[in-house]
Structure 1
């Protein structure tokens, strides 16, 4: 048997050698293209992450940045929606995505706050209730990640985000900058990009009426009704009644739907999906009726049946580490409900602190987004106390094209010192989904890569 084994080994080795030209040195196996796992950020609170190494034909992942992607909601899954609907290597039909950001960076998806996506808590008292807890949980995660993935400690690290993820990204970026300065987290943090981000809820709400009116989606009567409820929200926020403001925010969306024949808050060129049936509402287990409507519009909308089946079927089987008791998105309703009191709080001051700390801040926004319309973004930017705001404002924006051959304007761009703004044309709330080529170009510009 020993002679036979030796003969087989020699035969295999001979054929392997014939497969390669003389002089070719076989490379050692490369790092795996993807990794995933859990980090316990607090006792009985578990955060799920999924890392993809950059996939560029001419550059190793060490030559490209690392991007952490944060989804909105709160309660929408980056490992699910951001990955398979927006920027990951495959779409939800498991087909290759031509505009995946892996061409320009490694991507770290994180399901946060705990309870989102495949993240979970063992005790319902452990859901995050405010940005402070969201940030502290993420600091635990990032410390663990960079401690164990030392190959990423010196690679430029950026936090990209969308919607409520932008509010979380601002707070996380400020805390991370401080941790890096202190040496408690080893990473090369460079900046954050806030996409269609919920930085100043009031500025968004106050601009809804004028934006819809200017696009012929409200008449005079509708504008008056939307303006009236927006003023109610402003009064609640001015009195620090943030829970009431969230409830009134839901009321405002209802007024808009009635007056616009159900415009889609994520893209004004499309219709909103019908309301859930009564039995679907019962299954949500939310304590207040207005939260049902909000969750249906802004979280459940991202957990469509096809994505839900993918994540709880083939993806769950692939990952092999998801506990039997955890269903993808199963705790997302609780995530959303627990953050309701914090939902309408602004974080403009945090953006000011980031700019003062010389952290690079990019704002990008889709032209057709309503929930976080561009007018509202421009409004809160004008409120910044950043000393260079006047110089930024005086800059003339520049037109951008997806390629040198293209003649169609894809976006406008303006930048000064460590602040930049991208106006993305023909895109709604989910910019990478609507304008994948321009989004990828933007990523390369933000991360200072040559095209």
Structure 2
């Protein structure tokens, strides 16, 4: 099951291009030979733990990859696949019907999708004790991958490198970002680390839970009785977190969601203007998990692995990649990723964001207006608790309206920036901002990476 070790391999398509272009096999190509250049591979980050990455070089017609940033995209869950959902549902070159996406981020950056933690997407483990159980392991695994990547792809060592993320991916991005900053300072990883962007991120889970009731009440999705019930269970979550009973907090968090679904007629936690829909993908693995974890995994991880996407990834994409072990399926281990991170799930990461800001790392927070699971009120709450000395000056600023394109008069977002902290309020978007508001998400990325 373990792939054969490869040390800075030449992708098999790249070996063919010199022949197709009439070049000698030793010819040097200093930029992608054709639009859509891609490479992918596995990195064994620990014994029995294999992480998959997939790189797309930018398709910008006017600039080559050395003139534009490299963006790594991290999905949430934990257990959601970056190479699947982020790639084909949000920012990659093709949508899930394999048609060109008009708002792909490849217009303005090269994209690195990584399936993490191990066991996510095409990443896999050979032993049950090889799953990551905490943020520290997630970060150390990723640093092994990034060192291997930048050592192998030296052409990206001087390119500005940003980590963009979504949901639990935001918590991972913060932890990874801090460790990457330290590694760059120590000289153990050579890259031009330029910042993190935390999208609808699970930085302070309890602040999200505490704000669910007031947010839904303000949107006429809870009545007085419903608000009281949600507030009661939210206070139990808070007590568990304060007492560092994190497994209990995860279970209570799941109960809080059930209280909301009962009172708000099945409101969708990822976009409050829609209803939740059942998901039948890969149910069989759930029967071996504790009931509350099975339910939570079904709602928050399996929804990213819808039947059509699973068929795409395990069909034509698997065939295209050609290196996926024959006895392994995309997304098959995702529920176990979630289960193993149970105790870490409700732990806050506010202090990590503080350390990033203190170190001078650029930190961007962005959030969708219609997201419930990580609503904007909860994001603003933990932001107020930062100990960053410049926070009072940030808070005093007025926000600025943004428009998705110059011809539009419709407000698409608001932004506030001071020194190395920025916050984007993305209007009309739910939890998956690029999926809901592709133009504005692309504009935001360009702003964050200092292209506008």
Match in the other structure for 2:366: 364
The SS at the match of 1:341 is helix
Q: Secondary structure at the match of 1:363?
A: strand
C-alpha separation in 1, matches of 2:55 and 2:449: 18
For 1:376, which of 378, 381, 385 is the aligned residue? 378
Q: Which residue of 2 aligns with 1:153?
A: 157
Q: 1:383 to 1:114 in 2, by over 3 A?
A: same
Conservation of the 8 A alpha-carbon contact between 2:194 and 2:361? yes
Q: Contact conserved, 2:280 with 2:306, CA < 8 A, in 1? A: no
Matches of 1:379 and 1:422 in 2, distance apart?
Answer: 15
User: Is 1:71 matched up with 2:75?
Assistant: yes
1:83 maps to 2:90: no
Q: 1:127 aligns with which of 128, 131, 135?
A: 131
Q: C-alpha separation between the residues in 2 aligned to 1:93 and 1:201? A: 34
Distance in 2 between residues matched to 1:332 and 1:177, nearest whole Å: 28
Specify the SS of the correspondent of 2:229: helix
Alignment check: 8 A CA contact 1:286 1:334 kept: no
Q: Name the counterpart of 1:182.
A: 186
Alpha carbons of structure 1 residues 425 and 29: separation in structure 2 relative to 1, 3 Å: closer
Equivalent-residue separation in structure 2 for 1:29 and 1:390 (angstroms): 45
| Structure 2 residue aligned with 1:329 | 331
- State the superposition RMSD in angstroms: 1.6
Task: Specify which of 54, 59, 64 is matched with residue 60 of structure 1.
Answer: 64
Q: Deviations over 1:160-219 (max 9, x none)?
A: 000000000000000000000000000000100000000000000000000000000000
Matches within 5 A, 1:402-441: 402-441=404-443
In structure 2, C-alpha distance between the alignment counterparts of 1:403 and 1:444, rounded to whole Å: 12
Whether 1:221 and 2:225 are equivalent positions in the alignment is yes
SS at match of 1:269: coil
Question: Which residue number in structure 2 is paired with residue 387 of structure 1?
Answer: 389
Q: Normalising by structure 1, report the TM-score.
A: 0.92
CA offset at residue 274 of structure 1? 3.2
Residue among 107, 121, 127 paired with 2:111: 107
Mapped contact 1:281–1:292 kept (Cα < 8 A): no
In 2, distance between residues paired with 1:213 and 1:164?
25
The answer to whether the 8 Å contact 1:286/1:333 transfers is: no
Distance in 1, Cα, partners of 2:284 & 2:187:
48
1:162 aligned to 2:166? yes
Instruction: Classify 1:236/1:62 alpha carbon distance in 2 versus 1 (closer, same or farther; 3 Å).
Output: same
Larger CA Rg, structure 1 vs 2: 1
In structure 2, the CA distance between the partners of 1:353 and 1:403, relative to structure 1 (3 Å rule), is same
Instruction: Report Cα offsets for 1:1-57 as digits up to 9, x if no partner.
Output: xxxxxxxxxxxxxxx99xxxxxxxxx8883571000000000111000000001101
1:211 aligns with 215
Runs of 4+ in structure 1 over 3 Å off: 27-32, 274-277, 280-283
Specify the alignment match of 1:312 in structure 2.
314
- 1:49 aligned residue: 53
Uncovered stretches (5+) of structure 2, i.e. residues with no partner: 1-20, 23-28
| Secondary structure of 1:263 counterpart | coil
